[in-house]
Structure 1
C-alpha cells in the first residue's frame, strides 16, 4: 500500500528556499536597493513602527500597505528609540533584532530597516518612497515625512486600524 501511495504522490517535498533574514538591511544598502527598484519602474511603499508584539492588526495593516506599491519597506524603531517614545520602562518586550526578524518573515514585507532616531524623518528623506503609509491613528498632516513625500509627487495614506488589536492591550491582558 505504501509503494502505491508513493507512485501516485504528485507532490514531493518542497524545500523552503527563502532567506527571510536577508530582508533586514542597513539604511545605506536600502537606499541603493530602492534606487534600483525605481530604475525598473517599481513603486516603493514605506511604513514604520515599533511592532513590539506582532498581532493581527499589524499584519492586516502591512498587507494593505503592500498593496499600495511593488515593494514594502518597514522601518523598525530601535530599542533605544522605543524607550525614548515613552512607551514604558518595560518596553519593548521584544528586542529590535527579534522584531525585525519576525517582520522579515512576512511575505508582504520586502525589506526591514532598524532606525535609532525617535522619528523616521531622516530615513524617509533618504529613501523618498512613492507612498508613505501610517495607521489610522495618524492623520496625514501629522505623519512624519509627509510634506517631503507629497512635495516629491508621492502619496501619503492613513490606513484604518483593525479594531480591538493593540500591543498595549495585549500586554495588559497578559499581565492580568
Structure 2
C-alpha cells in the first residue's frame, strides 16, 4: 500500500478551490474547523472526529507559523506549519488542510462557505470567527464538547516542569 497525504495539504485557497468546486457539485456536506494544532493530542483528535461527523468532507484551517506566533507568542509554534499540516493530513477523516496567515480564518471561511462550521465549546457561537457568514448562507455552527484538562499549553508546562 502506498499512502500519499501531500495532495490533502494546501498553502492557499486558490490551489484548493477546484477541489472545493467538485465537492460542492457532488453535494458533499462540507465541514470546516480550524486551529493551531501545535502539539497534537487526544483532545485535538476527539474534536476533529466530532467535527468530521457533522458532514462528508472535513476541511481543517491551520494557522501558519506567523499566525501562531502572533496569537500565542514569539516562541511558538513548536512544530512548523508543514509538520503540523502533515500530521493533520495523515488522519483519514481529514479531507483537506489549508494553511492561512491571518489571525482568524474568517476570510477563508467566507471563501469556502462550509455547510457546517465546527469549533470547541470554549467559544460562544457569536465568538467563532466566520459564524455570521456561515449562518447568513444557510449553514450551521456547531460547538463541540472538549476533553477537560488537556491542552497544548498544559503539555508544554508539564514538559517544562520535568527539569
Counterpart for residue 134 of structure 1? 119
Structure 1: gaps (5+ residues) = 1-14
- Within 5 A, what are the aligned runs for 1:91-170? 91-170=76-155
Secondary structure, aligned partner of 1:45: strand
Structure 2: gaps (5+ residues) = none
**Equivalent of 1:79, from 45, 65, 82?**
65
The Cα of 1:88 is off from its aligned counterpart by 2.4
Secondary structure, aligned partner of 2:94: coil
Any conservation in 2 of the 1:45–1:129 contact (CA below 8 Å)?
Answer: yes
The Cα of 1:165 is off from its aligned counterpart by 1.1
- Within 5 A, what are the aligned runs for 1:21-40? 21-25=6-10, 26-40=12-26
**Equivalent of 2:39, from 53, 56, 64?**
53
Normalising by structure 2, report the TM-score: 0.95
Secondary structure, aligned partner of 1:158: strand
Normalising by structure 1, report the TM-score: 0.88
1:32 and 1:22 map into 2 onto residues whose CA distance is 13
The Cα of 1:78 is off from its aligned counterpart by 0.5
1:149 and 1:110 map into 2 onto residues whose CA distance is 20
CA RMSD of aligned residues (A): 0.9
The Cα of 1:19 is off from its aligned counterpart by 0.7
1:18 and 1:42 map into 2 onto residues whose CA distance is 23
Number of residue-to-residue matches in the alignment: 160
1:114 and 1:65 map into 2 onto residues whose CA distance is 18
The Cα of 1:32 is off from its aligned counterpart by 2.1
Q: Deviations over 1:21-79 (max 9, x none)?
A: 22102311322211211111111100110000000000000000000001000010011
The Cα of 1:89 is off from its aligned counterpart by 2.6
Any conservation in 2 of the 1:21–1:105 contact (CA below 8 Å)?
Answer: no
Any conservation in 2 of the 1:52–1:99 contact (CA below 8 Å)?
Answer: yes
143-152 or 20-29: which moved more? 20-29
Any conservation in 2 of the 1:149–1:155 contact (CA below 8 Å)?
Answer: yes
